[in-house]
Structures are given as structure tokens and as C-alpha cells.
Amino acid sequence: MIDIKLIRENKDIVKENIKKKFQDEKLELVDKVYDLDKEYRECKNQGDNLRSEKNQLSSSIGSLMREKKIKEADKAKKQVVEMQDKITELEERESVLEEEIRKIMMVIPNIIDESVPIGKDDSENVEVERFGEAFIPKYEIPYHADIIEALNGMDKESAGRTSGQGFYYLLGDIARLHEAMIAYGRDYMIDKGFTYAIPPFMIHSDVVTGVMSFPEMEAMMYKIEGEDLYLIGTSEHSMIGKFQGQIVSKEDLPIKMTSYSPCFRKEGGSHGLEERGLYRVHQFEKQEMIVLCEPEDSMKYYEDMWKYTVEIFRNLNIPVRQLECCSGDLADLKVKSCDIEAWSPRQQKYFEVGSCSNLGDAQARRLGIRAKGENGTYFVHTLNNTVFASPRGLIAFIENNYNEDGSINIPAVLRPYMGGKSIIK
């Protein structure tokens, strides 16, 4: 959510930003909220003036009574009642206007960074840099589900009976490998100075609407029937929500945290080959990172954060690339975002395994997260990034470390988490 002052002082900037995001249907909202805000401030100003007049008049009633000026006192009392009725009327209108303004402001997109490439959708995202050689081995790499099943590492049939399509059991060394990769990501981030956390896996609706846009929420999240609770789609939601309504000390910034959680999403159904595997599932596990920082530092942390993910994947022998998200692919709260995509030697293309986002003060403004400095309070900036998400990261690992005989190499960084194993046979 942007600052209403920007609409008051320069509507054109807001409208131009909407055009860059190819959301022209929202242009009229800028003028609408401008007019509503103008009326709101007029009501507030009129109410403040009336309250001041009423207080002065009320103070005079006692003097009039002591001076036996009964008629004048009665007239003043009547005026005070009339003023109070008008004040109540203005307050009710203020409340209505405030709610209407907030609803509109929640759907006006955040101002994107000037470095964001302009494009309509994800097909116009821009590759920035590649890390590692995107190799194609001389031998065939089977579909990941076939590799895992040959190692007795997955059971989707039983999960279908217990839970339905989109769920799975991981077993044996594959289950251990899955946990080893997440544990490695956790310890890597701790070594980078991030505080480890395990957050709540359910959050209230006001936290949901604070951290993401409503269309995203409807498409992603599962609601607990009969309760004001949602299963998290990513731990960043409950981690940012941790600071809802809080004023943090300027000296405590930056706040850097890395969190583990299961994640639950309404993934759209897939067909054919992908339906057998682990690409589109309703439940997965993830290690996440978040940062709360000074506004002027957020771009620095953005650059640091996506590079952490690159280094983690390169340490796992996985070639990756950074893909800059274009304006039309940015969620409305984001200032700037990039995806980290891993190389699939089987498909001979890259696929997304992580996403890094700078949200400016949009989430902080929605959730009321402020810092207190010498000149008062101000909204912090928030950022988030995927450390490691499985099973997508697991798929990338298996394909890039697969041997012709069906075994899987274990890189040195994972061996302490795998009981010293250097290979899975």
C-alpha cells in the first residue's frame, strides 16, 4: 500500500506506474481515492473546528449560570447539543470515507523501482546472469519420479488414498536427502547472521491481507472452516506478521531472520507426466529468509539475498540463473523481484526454485510496522527470499547429481547431514 500523500501531491506518478504494470482498469481509482481523501480531510477539519468551538461554548455555560444569565446559558446548551450532533454526523462520515479509501489503496499497486524491465507478463522477464554450466550429459536422465521410485523414495499412491492428488510420501534416503538440503540451507543462513525461527503455520486474515494482495490469497491459501485462520503458503507471511503493530528501535535494524515451515497451497491441477511427480503439490517444506531494514538499505539487502540462494545451489552442483521479473509479472506489493531458476538437464531448460522480493514499505504500512528514530517513527522496508524449497529444489538436485547407473552423488556440504554418505544407490 502506497502513501496517500503521493496521490495528494502527484497523481501522475501513480497513474504512470499503473500503466507500466498494464493495469489500466485501475487508473480511475486514483482520481476516486483523491476525491474521497479530499472529502475526508474536509470532514476532519470541519469536525476539529466544531469540537474547538463546542469546548469554548461549553466552558462559557458555567460562567453564564453563575451570572444568572439563564436564557443565554440555555441557548448555549442548545447550541452545544446541535454541535455535538453535527460532530457525530461528521465522525460517521469520516469512518465511512476512511474505510472506502483503505479498500481502494489496498489494490493500487506499489511504485516499482526504475530498474524493473517493462513487460506484460512472465514471458517478458529478463535473464540477467547465469551461474554454472548448463550441461547435458551423454546419458539419458529419467523423469524425477522414476529416479526416486527406483530408489524406493516416494509413494504417491498411498498419499492419494490418505489425502488425495497433490500429496506424497517421501521415504528412506530420499526423505533424508530432502531434510538434509533444508538443514543445510538453515545452517548456511545462520552463518550469514540470520536468526533461526520456526513460526506458526496458521495466521489470521488481517495478517494475510497485510502481507499479500487479495487475488493472491484467494488463489493460494487454504482457510480453516469456521475460524479466522489460514494455513500459510510460505513462512514469510507469519514471519513478517510477527512484527504487526510493533515499533522497533532504529538500533535493532536490520532484523534478519531465517525460518522453516511446511507450506500449503492450492496448486492448479497438472496433467500427463507432471501429475505423477512432485512439481505441483499442495504441501511442501521450505527454508525462507526475511529482512526488516532502513528504507535506504533495502536494495543492498535485496542484492545480498538473491545471491545467497545462488551460492547455496552452486554448492549443491546445480547450475542456476537469475531472472529479473518484469513490471507486469510483479505482484502489486512488490518494488522489485527476481526468480532464481535451476537448470533441468532432462528438460534442457531452467525452472523456478526461488524468488526474492523487495516490498518497500508496502507490507509495513499495511501491518503498522514502524521504527523509532530521532525524528519520530517511520515505516521500515521488508524483503523476503527463498533459501530452499523442496520438492522443487529436490528435483533440481536429483537431476544435476544423477549418474548413469541410477545413483545420486552427495556433495560435500550435505554429507554431514546424510551420515557421511557420498552417494545414494
pLDDT, tens digit, 9 for 90 and up, residues 300-352: 999 999 999 999 999 999 999 999 999 999 999 999 999 999 999 999 999 99
- The pLDDT tens digits of the residues spanning 211-246 come to 987 667 777 889 999 999 999 999 999 999 999 999
> Averaged over 186-194, what is the pLDDT?
98
**Lowest-confidence segment of 70-74, 189-193, 248-252 by average pLDDT:** 70-74
- pLDDT number for residue 182: 97
Read off the pLDDT of each residue in 145-173 and give the average, rounded to a whole number: 93
Alpha carbons 123 and 389: distance in angstroms, whole number:
23
Q: What distance in Å separates the CA atoms of residue 2 and residue 294, rounded to the nearest whole number?
A: 17
Please state at what angle helix 298-315 crosses helix 172-191, rounded to 10 degrees: 140
Which set of grid coordinates corresponds to residue 371? Answer: 521504527
Q: Quick one: residue 420, left, alpha or beta (phi over 0 = left, psi -120 to 50 = alpha)?
A: left
Neighbouring C-beta atoms of residue 15, cutoff 10 Å:
19
Indicate the pLDDT class of residue 196, thresholds 50, 70 and 90: very high
Q: Which CATH number applies to 122-424?
A: 3.30.930.10
| Cα gap 135→392, rounded to integer Å | 19
Q: What is the model's pLDDT at position 271?
A: 43
Q: Is the pLDDT of residue 114 over 60?
A: yes
CATH 3.30.930.10 in the chain is located at: 122-424
Cα separation, 265 vs 284, in Å, equals 9
> What does the alpha-carbon distance between residue 366 and residue 404 come to, in Å, rounded to a whole number?
52
Instruction: Name the one residue in this structure whose C-alpha cell is 547450475.
Output: 319
Q: What is the pLDDT of residue 70?
A: 85
In which residue ranges of the chain is CATH 1.10.287.40 found?
4-105
- pLDDT reported for residue 86: 94
What is the tens place of the pLDDT at every residue in 29-40?
Answer: 999 999 999 999
Instruction: Please give the angle made by the CA atoms of 368, 371 and 376, to the nearest 5 degrees.
Output: 105
Radius of gyration of the chain (CA): 28
Architecture of domain 4-105: Orthogonal Bundle (1.10)
Q: What is the pLDDT of residue 186?
A: 98
Contact 380, 361 (CB under 8 A): yes
Buried (b) or exposed (e) across 324-340, using 16+ Cβ within 10 A?
A: bbbbbbbbbbbbbbbbb
Per-residue pLDDT of 257-283, as tens digits, reads: 999 999 998 875 444 445 568 878 899
CB-CB contact of 13 with 110 (8 Å): no
Mean pLDDT of the chain: 93
> Is the confidence at residue 15, as pLDDT, over 90?
yes
CA 192 to chain CA mean position, Å: 22
For residue 362, the SS3 value is: helix
170 vs 151: CA distance, rounded Å: 11
Residue 22's pLDDT band (cuts 50, 70, 90)? very high
pTM comes to 0.89
